[in-house]
């Protein structure tokens, strides 16, 4: 449970807020790189309660400006994109990709040059890595380094990126990605049903390991970037099922995938206080993601990579919940792509969850820890302390069955020992109760 002031500090990210200032000090994943075409349509981007425009210039560079034209504030997302510049439709002002006004046809020719030199345009540095365009919205004259995350070093063929836009505060989304115990309960309609296309043996294993042993002992190792978590389940055969993962401040959650599937990380970014985006990034560190696997991933969503939960629904249709289906054994009644179950519960907490009213249990220890770290980080930043982010080179999540006396802290997740065998096939395919 938090105080009102703590909840406000964590949730609010608009201009001038401590959390907003802190989050802006990191490179923010803003748009999918492939969604910007040279001389193509500019993208409207909303982050931390402000609107921006992103575009790819003729030569491939990316420009990132405040959305409004510096003249009379028309949206530059409507502008012409040509000749390495945006040209506003209204009076033809031309702003080059580096953020300089280079033509203002509404002014007399003889004073255009001096006029242009005096017009200020808010533009922001960008980087392109891991299939994303990252923008720096902070105040440092020299931006920090981009995080050295594994997926950001891989070729496009090994990374699959999609985004959901949700109608609730960012911290509800982030906390959802931190909650290890819900997997075998909320998602039992997926993890316990061998007929569903997502999971195969992985989901069945998750069912046995999470649903049949839903509670876990959760331990931590502090890291400069956040912490490493070991969620440990003692299995009936004496082995230990360990879900080991990193939580990287300010909003990265690396999620173990059972059965040796590709790696998975979520990035949860505020759009404004009552809306946020969740990037779902699946990556294979060693080989391209097969086309069939990509197609399957997309079939589980509505198909729009930039808003894959656009037909999520809401209170008006209770997120498509089907009560008749629940009577026949489906846990949530939300027979939609698996992440929609997550999104429904996150939105159903309300636009900004009131954390003064919750009553937490032992399984919420990861959320408690993350809140504490975020509060400390935002307060320290407000006092002038630069975030200490550490080294991300060996961040990777792992789900593994270990001997009962093994120490999960000794596991190098990039070079793990062989996992103990999965449970017997019959035990891996239980009926949904
Ligand atoms: S409003 Fe953009 S040029 Fe006038
Ligand atoms: Fe989930």
Ligand 1 atom index nearest CA of 88:
2
Cα–Cα distance for residue pair 280/265, rounded to 1 Å = 6
What is the per-residue pLDDT across 342-388, written as a single tens digit (0 to 9) for each? 999 999 999 999 999 999 999 999 999 999 999 999 999 999 999 98
User: Which residue lies with its CA nearest to atom 3 of ligand 1?
Assistant: 91
Question: What average pLDDT is seen over the chain?
Answer: 90
Contacts of 269 (CB under 8 A, 6+ apart): 28, 29, 47, 170, 251, 276, 277, 278, 279
Give the model's pLDDT for residue 216.
85
Which tokens belong to 374?
A: 């975020």
What is the per-residue pLDDT across 171-228, written as a single tens digit (0 to 9) for each? 999 999 999 888 878 988 877 665 554 444 555 566 666 666 767 899 999 999 999 9
**Ordered DSSP codes for 39-87:** TSPPEEEEETTEEEEEEE-TTS-EEEEESB-TTT--BGGGSEEETTEEE
Q: Which ligand gives the minimal distance to the CA of 185?
A: 2
Instruction: Check whether 312 has a pLDDT greater than 90.
Output: yes
Give the model's pLDDT for residue 432.
34
The pTM is what? 0.93
Cα–Cα distance for residue pair 197/195, rounded to 1 Å = 6
Cα–Cα distance for residue pair 430/45, rounded to 1 Å = 45
For the chain, how big is the Rg over CA atoms in Å? 23
What percent of the chain shows pLDDT beyond 70?
91
Confirm if 285 and 398 have CB atoms less than 8 A apart.
no
Instruction: Check whether 259 has a pLDDT greater than 90.
Output: no
What CATH class has 27-135? mainly beta
Which of 88, 101, 102, 116, when mutated, tests ligand 1's pocket best, judged by the most ligand atoms within 8 Å of its CB?
A: 88
Q: Which residues pair with 226 in a beta bridge?
A: 223, 248
User: What is the rounded average pLDDT of the residues 266-288?
Assistant: 96
Residue 292's pLDDT band, with cuts at 50, 70 and 90, is confident
User: Which residue lies with its CA nearest to atom 4 of ligand 1?
Assistant: 91
Confirm if 13 and 237 have CB atoms less than 8 A apart.
no
Helix axes 170-178, 4-11, angle to 10 degrees: 90
Give CB contacts under 8 A, 24+ apart, made by 18-21.
18/378, 18/379, 18/381, 18/382, 19/374, 19/378, 20/48, 20/49, 20/270, 21/138, 21/139, 21/378, 21/381, 21/382
Give the model's pLDDT for residue 207.
60
Cα–Cα distance for residue pair 243/225, rounded to 1 Å = 19
Q: Where in the chain is the domain with CATH 2.102.10.10?
A: 27-135
Give the model's pLDDT for residue 204.
56
Q: Give all strands of the β-sheet with 132-135 in edge-to-edge order.
A: 28-32, 132-135, 126-129
User: What is the rounded average pLDDT of the residues 246-253?
Assistant: 98
Ligand 1 atom index nearest CA of 73:
1
Centre of ligand 1 to C-alpha 400, Å, is 58
Centre of ligand 1 to C-alpha 91, Å, is 5
Give the model's pLDDT for residue 430.
37
Residue 300's pLDDT band, with cuts at 50, 70 and 90, is confident
What CATH class has 150-428? alpha beta
Per the listing, tokens 């040796």 go with 260
Instruction: Check whether 283 has a pLDDT greater than 50.
Output: yes
Q: Which ligand gives the minimal distance to the CA of 346?
A: 2
Q: Where in the chain is the domain with CATH 3.90.380?
A: 150-428
Cα–Cα distance for residue pair 40/231, rounded to 1 Å = 46
Q: What is the per-residue burial (b if ≥16 Cβ within 10 Å, else e) of 301-337?
A: bbeebbbbbeebbeeeeebbbeeebeeeebbbbbbbb
Q: Give residue 200's region: left, alpha or beta (phi > 0; psi -120 to 50).
A: left
Which of 72, 85, 87, 102, when mutated, tests ligand 1's pocket best, judged by the most ligand atoms within 8 Å of its CB?
A: 72
Centre of ligand 2 to C-alpha 340, Å, is 9
Confirm if 190 and 207 have CB atoms less than 8 A apart.
no
Residues touching ligand 1 (Cβ under 6 Å) are 69, 71-72, 74, 88, 90-91, 93
Other beta carbons within 10 Å of 237: 12
Cα–Cα distance for residue pair 257/297, rounded to 1 Å = 14
User: What is the rounded average pLDDT of the residues 229-238?
Assistant: 88
Instruction: Give backbone dihedrals phi and psi of 30, rounded to 5 degrees, phi first.
Output: -105, -50
Ligand 1 atom index nearest CA of 79:
2
Q: Which of 50-59, 189-198, 278-287 has the lowest mean pLDDT?
A: 189-198
Ligand 1 atom index nearest CA of 93:
3
Q: Which ligand gives the minimal distance to the CA of 68?
A: 1
- The Cα-based distances of 155 to 100, 231, 267, 284, 289 in angstroms read 32, 31, 19, 10, 11
Give the model's pLDDT for residue 254.
96
User: Which residue lies with its CA nearest to atom 1 of ligand 1?
Assistant: 72
Q: Give all strands of the β-sheet with 62-66 in edge-to-edge order.
A: 43-47, 50-56, 62-66
Instruction: Check whether 429 has a pLDDT greater than 60.
Output: no
Other beta carbons within 10 Å of 88: 23
Instruction: Check whether 161 has a pLDDT greater than 90.
Output: yes
Contacts of 424 (CB under 8 A, 6+ apart): none
What is the per-residue pLDDT across 57-96, written as a single tens digit (0 to 9) for each? 999 999 999 999 999 999 999 999 999 999 999 999 999 9
């Amino acid at each position: 449970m938090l105080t009102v002031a703590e909840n406000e500090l964590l949730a609010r990210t608009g201009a001038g807020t401590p959390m907003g200032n802190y989050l802006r000090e990191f490179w923010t994943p803003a748009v999918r790189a492939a969604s910007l075409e040279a001389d193509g349509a500019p993208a409207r981007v909303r982050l931390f309660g402000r609107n921006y425009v992103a575009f790819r210039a003729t030569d491939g560079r990316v420009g990132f400006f405040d959305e409004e034209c510096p003249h009379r504030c028309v949206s530059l997302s409507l502008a012409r994109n040509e000749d390495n510049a945006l040209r506003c439709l209204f009076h033809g002002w031309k702003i080059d990709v580096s953020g300089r006004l280079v033509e203002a046809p509404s002014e007399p020719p003889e004073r255009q040059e001096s006029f242009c030199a005096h017009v200020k345009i808010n533009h922001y540095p960008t980087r392109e890595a891991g299939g994303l365009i990252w923008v720096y919205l902070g105040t440092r004259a020299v931006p920090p380094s981009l995080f050295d995350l594994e997926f950001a070093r891989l070729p496009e063929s090994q990374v699959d990126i999609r985004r959901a836009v949700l109608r609730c505060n960012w911290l509800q989304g982030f906390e959802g990605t931190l909650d290890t115990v819900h997997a075998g309960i909320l998602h039992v309609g997926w993890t316990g049903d061998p007929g569903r296309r997502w999971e195969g043996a992985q989901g069945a294993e998750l069912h046995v390991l999470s649903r049949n042993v839903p509670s876990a002992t959760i331990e931590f190792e502090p890291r400069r970037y956040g912490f490493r978590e070991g969620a440990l389940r003692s299995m009936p055969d004496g082995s230990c099922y360990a879900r080991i993962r990193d939580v990287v401040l300010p909003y990265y959650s690396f999620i173990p995938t059972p059965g040796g599937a590709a790696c998975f990380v979520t990035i949860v970014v505020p759009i404004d206080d009552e809306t946020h985006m969740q990037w779902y990034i699946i990556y294979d560190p060693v080989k391209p993601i097969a086309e069939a696997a990509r197609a399957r991933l997309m079939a589980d969503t509505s198909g729009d990579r930039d808003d894959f939960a656009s037909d999520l629904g809401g209170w008006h249709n209770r997120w498509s919940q089907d009560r008749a289906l629940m009577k026949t054994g489906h846990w949530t009644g939300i027979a939609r792509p698996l992440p929609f179950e997550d999104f429904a519960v996150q939105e159903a907490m309300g636009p900004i969850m009131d954390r003064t009213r919750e009553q937490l249990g032992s399984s919420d220890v990861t959320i408690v820890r993350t809140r504490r770290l975020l509060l400390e980080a935002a307060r320290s930043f407000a006092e002038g302390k630069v975030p200490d982010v550490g080294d991300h080179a060996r961040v990777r999540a792992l789900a593994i069955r270990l001997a009962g006396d093994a120490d999960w802290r000794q596991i190098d997740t990039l070079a793990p020992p062989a996992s103990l065998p999965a449970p017997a096939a019959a035990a891996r395919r239980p009926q949904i109760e």
